[in-house]
Structure 1
Amino acid sequence: MLKKIPVSRLKPGMFIQEMCGDWMSHPFWRAQFKLKDEGDLRRIVDSGIQHVYIDTDKGIDDRDAVAADEVKQAVEQEIIAALAAPETPHVRATVHEELARARKVHEQAHKVVRTMMSDVRLGKAVSLEDAEPVVEAITGSVLRNSGALLGLIGIKNKDDYTFLHSVSVCTLMIAFGRSLGLEGDELRQGGIGGLLHDIGKMKVPDEVLNKPGRLTDAEFDLIRQHPGDGHAVLVNTPGIGPIPLDITRHHHERLDGKGYPDRLAGDQISTMARMAAIVDVYDAITADRCYHKGMPAAEALRKMWEWSADHFDQKLLQAFMRCVGIYPVGSLVRLESGRLGVVVEQNDGSLLTPKLRVFFSTRSNGYIKPEMLDLGRKLGSGGGDRIVSAEAPDKWGVDPQRFLFPA
């Protein structure tokens, strides 16, 4: 049975199933293991992790622990209670109309980021003349209809993760900033910060950056140097503004002061850096990596809410969830009818009733004719069903991206 406990109650002999924090916050990138000694316990405490889930079938129990199902239900109720109806988005095009442009923007952004990061690895400087047109193009697509580009950022290749992650964080920062009312140069600077936030990873050896197993303390220290290394690269970039520098250096800081590199806490962390922390973790934990399987987006948001008291600005996290939706575009969901569908668009006024394309029956375990379903409508008018849960595509052997934006 899975149960949640504070790290203060951890003891050797317990089996750790999950740590309540993103994978860049601790060195145990494969976090399922039996705790055997005080050394590993100290590493967990020193990493800043506050809570863990233990599997009592595989290790020692704790009579005061809370069952995982109880935690999940409580968190879901908190989220629903905390999120007011989203504001009506200002769109200038339908998702279908924007899709072709969004694909070109995404592809070009990927190429530019790959080139910039490769240049940094070779010791060359970053050029804002390369970055700024990418940010302008992404901003234009988000302003026309954010759903198209937000749907595309879920498509990632493990080998190109570092480059695609930078494009995704840029896109999410712009969409998030726009939802908060940012505009003009402030919004553009936030986008540049998102695009360049991980530039310091080019100073980390590939064998450490993409290591599939557990990191040594020395290797983890190398990874944790990347915000400072990135800041050092960008500070010599002509024309770079304070916002991208701040985002690059501080996107791994945490409200409880246990982030890095400067151990900032609370109000010491700027709003932009707090936004970047949320966006960076969200994109990281929803992506497949060589050392872990990505979470479904809806589960990732629930986990982040669970961690938010220690890690994130909860008001900003609420705003981010309103921006992307409780079930973000590209999410696979299971309906009360037994069908699976992929979220293609949010519905004005309700985060719980998005527009879907249903394509699979869990009851017959087979594909069905794809059709659009608007959960905001009543039965007989394109609606009449309800989301039961977010699902992992691997569980059903399906690829929802095939049905997200069909040709």
Structure 2
Amino acid sequence: MLKRIHVQHLTLGMYLHEFCGSWMEHPFWRTRFLLEDAHDLELIHASEIHEVWIDVSKGLDVAAGTHSVSRAEADAQAEADLQQAAAHSASAHPAPNIRRQPSPMVQELRRAAQICAASKKAVVSMFHEARMGRAVDPAQAQELIEDMSDSIARNPGALVSLARLKTADDYTYMHSVAVAALMISLARNLGMNEEAVHIAGTAGLMHDLGKAKMPMEVLNKPGKLTDEEFAIMRAHPVHSHAMLKDSGLHPQALDACLHHHEKMDGTGYPDRLQGEQISVLARMTAICDVYDAITSNRPYKNGWDPSESLRRMAEWSKDHFDARLFQAFVKTMGIYPVGSLVRLGSGRLAVVTEQSPDALLAPRVRVFYSTKSQLRIPPELLDLSRPGCTEKIVAREDPAQWNFPDLNDLWSSAGA
């Protein structure tokens, strides 16, 4: 049985199942082990981690009367928070003022694939220039930001979803592309004007440029970082700011590059800012950065399912993220983002292919598997928001438990 407890109640003899927070935010090599070493306990107590999950079936339980939260309770609360965020966002955030001609998902995925390829090439070039000590000109990326913005205006899900698909080799570069796409989409859902949307996209594209100053053996290490290596990586926002401060980058975007790892509770870095001390654009970048990081595969850990990632982020939101902006992000992505594996009321499994306008709980899906017969079935597109549709999503599913090798192809191959 899993229980979530505050780290102050963590003792030797407990089985540590998971840290509460992105694995990118802590330097520990392991996340599941019996806590037997007093030094490990000291490291956890001294870290910025507030809560952990313990497995009481494999180690000691908390003392009687100690506050803890069960997995079922945590899931129910996260689900309620997401539902509330979706309901609040639907009425609280205005639609963007400028719209492009809508584009079907399949058609826009083809355009998005070309934009992703061009954007990756541009980011690779910028990182190369930075490594060589040359000045980087953000103005060179403005045409790409315009293309991204137009794509998202035509169909919000295509570019955002396609940019999530990346290999370990191109993670650093495609992460910048993905965060830029997420930032543009979030800014549009917040009703920002076109200039602000472009500034947000530029911040996303440039936010990790400081990683160009990281030693390649640390940046591309196929495993968890040591404490010393983690400290080196935590310096990348400062490097980003130093490299871009004289580049002509908009001051708001420059600030986001420096402060996108700050947290609302003041435990972030590099300046341990909290609450309103963190700029809106930096708070937006923090949300988009974490979402793409935890949904992406890394050499040492597979990314979480998009829907599961939102649920995890909802658990951390009170400490990590701006509540209003996270609500807007939920509306941007949908309760079940594109690529999520879900179970329908009929017992069939489906992958989410596209959001339905004004129906965050009823996206469009591709049904492809019957849990009753335990067999693949001919893929079928289904709009759960269509009047008369009797199917509905009853649960998220963990892709790791099913191991469908073509899950991404089921929603992306037709367009890409």
TM-score, reference length from structure 1:
0.94
Contact 2:100 / 2:150 at 8 angstroms: preserved in 1? no
Aligned match of 2:9: 9
Say whether residues 1:330 and 2:346 are aligned partners: no
Matches within 5 A, 1:61-210: 61-62=61-62, 63=64, 64=66, 65-84=68-87, 86=90, 92-93=101-102, 94-210=104-220
Aligned match of 1:395: 401
Residue identity opposite 2:117 in structure 1: E
Q: Structure 2 vs 1, CA of residues 29 and 280 (structure 1 numbering), >3 Å: closer, same or farther?
A: farther
Residue identity opposite 2:18 in structure 1: E
Say whether residues 1:315 and 2:324 are aligned partners: yes
Say whether residues 1:282 and 2:286 are aligned partners: no
Shift of 1:378: 4.7
Shift of 1:340: 1.7
**Cα separation, 1, equivalents of 2:118 and 2:282:** 26
Contact 2:253 / 2:281 at 8 angstroms: preserved in 1? no
Q: Structure 2 vs 1, CA of residues 405 and 23 (structure 1 numbering), >3 Å: closer, same or farther?
A: closer
**Cα separation, 1, equivalents of 2:192 and 2:216:** 36
**Cα separation, 2, equivalents of 1:351 and 1:91:** 22
What do residues 28-77 of structure 1 show as CA deviations (whole Å, max 9, x unaligned)? 15322222334322322333211110011222111433221221112212
Name the stretch that deviates more: 63-72 or 99-108: 63-72
Contact 2:85 / 2:328 at 8 angstroms: preserved in 1? no
Say whether residues 1:267 and 2:305 are aligned partners: no
- For structure 2, the 5+ residue unaligned runs are none
Q: 1:371 aligns with which of 366, 372, 380?
A: 380
TM-score, reference length from structure 2:
0.92
**Cα separation, 2, equivalents of 1:213 and 1:97:** 38
Q: Secondary structure at the match of 1:353?
A: strand
**Could you tell me the percent identity over the aligned residues?**
48
Contact 1:211 / 1:291 at 8 angstroms: preserved in 2? no
Aligned match of 1:293: 302
Contact 2:264 / 2:320 at 8 angstroms: preserved in 1? yes
Residue identity opposite 1:17 in structure 2: H
Shift of 1:197: 0.6
Aligned match of 2:353: 344
Aligned match of 1:219: 229
**Cα separation, 2, equivalents of 1:377 and 1:190:** 34
**Cα separation, 2, equivalents of 1:223 and 1:4:** 28
Say whether residues 1:36 and 2:36 are aligned partners: yes
Residue identity opposite 2:72 in structure 1: D
Contact 2:29 / 2:226 at 8 angstroms: preserved in 1? no
What do residues 92-112 of structure 1 show as CA deviations (whole Å, max 9, x unaligned)? 222233222121111111111
Contact 1:26 / 1:44 at 8 angstroms: preserved in 2? no
Contact 1:357 / 1:371 at 8 angstroms: preserved in 2? yes
Aligned match of 1:247: 256
Contact 2:86 / 2:335 at 8 angstroms: preserved in 1? no
Over the aligned positions, Cα root-mean-square deviation in angstroms equals 1.8
**Cα separation, 1, equivalents of 2:272 and 2:53:** 25
Contact 1:30 / 1:292 at 8 angstroms: preserved in 2? no
**Cα separation, 2, equivalents of 1:121 and 1:364:** 55
Shift of 1:202: 1.5
What do residues 298-352 of structure 1 show as CA deviations (whole Å, max 9, x unaligned)? 1111111111111111111011001110101121212122222121121222211
Q: Structure 2 vs 1, CA of residues 307 and 343 (structure 1 numbering), >3 Å: closer, same or farther?
A: same
Q: Secondary structure at the match of 1:137?
A: helix
Say whether residues 1:385 and 2:391 are aligned partners: yes
**Cα separation, 2, equivalents of 1:13 and 1:91:** 59
**Cα separation, 1, equivalents of 2:230 and 2:310:** 25
Contact 1:86 / 1:350 at 8 angstroms: preserved in 2? no
Contact 2:12 / 2:35 at 8 angstroms: preserved in 1? yes
What do residues 129-153 of structure 1 show as CA deviations (whole Å, max 9, x unaligned)? 4321211111111111112112212
Residue identity opposite 1:9 in structure 2: H
Contact 1:23 / 1:29 at 8 angstroms: preserved in 2? no
What do residues 155-202 of structure 1 show as CA deviations (whole Å, max 9, x unaligned)? 111111111110000000000000001122221111111001111112
**Cα separation, 1, equivalents of 2:32 and 2:134:** 40
Residue identity opposite 1:81 in structure 2: Q
Residue identity opposite 1:36 in structure 2: E
Name the stretch that deviates more: 345-354 or 308-317: 345-354
Q: Secondary structure at the match of 1:367?
A: strand
Q: Secondary structure at the match of 2:164?
A: coil
Aligned match of 2:370: 361
What do residues 279-300 of structure 1 show as CA deviations (whole Å, max 9, x unaligned)? 1001100111012111111111
Q: Secondary structure at the match of 2:382?
A: strand
Contact 1:30 / 1:213 at 8 angstroms: preserved in 2? no
Aligned match of 1:23: 23
Q: How many residues are paired up? A: 403
Shift of 1:406: 4.1
**Cα separation, 2, equivalents of 1:335 and 1:385:** 6
Name the stretch that deviates more: 115-124 or 297-306: 115-124
**Cα separation, 2, equivalents of 1:392 and 1:54:** 20
